Amino acid sequence: TKNRSEKDQKIAQSTHENRYIKPRKTFWRNSKQLLSFCIRIIELMNLQTHKLKKHKLRYD
């Protein structure tokens, strides 16, 4: 569409002028969400591992 090409043109122009591509906000927002999600999963895995170790120690 016409709007899209105008937007792309502006991005290309600013990229050319600044010599770098500006990261889009959605990329950073998604990255933060993914990172926090991964951290949560790791915490849960550590918690499960800790419980298993306690459980094993009891019966050794």
Q: What is the pLDDT of residues 14-27, one digit of tens each?
A: 666 666 666 667 77
The pLDDT, as a whole number, for residue 41 is 93
Q: Of residues 34 and 54, which shows the higher confidence score?
A: 34
Residue 12: which of 1, 20, 2, 24 has the closest Cα? 20
pLDDT greater at residue 19 or residue 39: 39
Distance, CA of 39 to CA of 49 (rounded, Å): 15
Amino acid at position 22, single letter: K
Give domain limits for the chain. Answer: 2-59
SS3 state at 19: coil
Q: Kindly report the length of the chain.
A: 60
Proportion of the chain in helix, strand, coil states, percent, rounded to 5 = 85, 0, 15
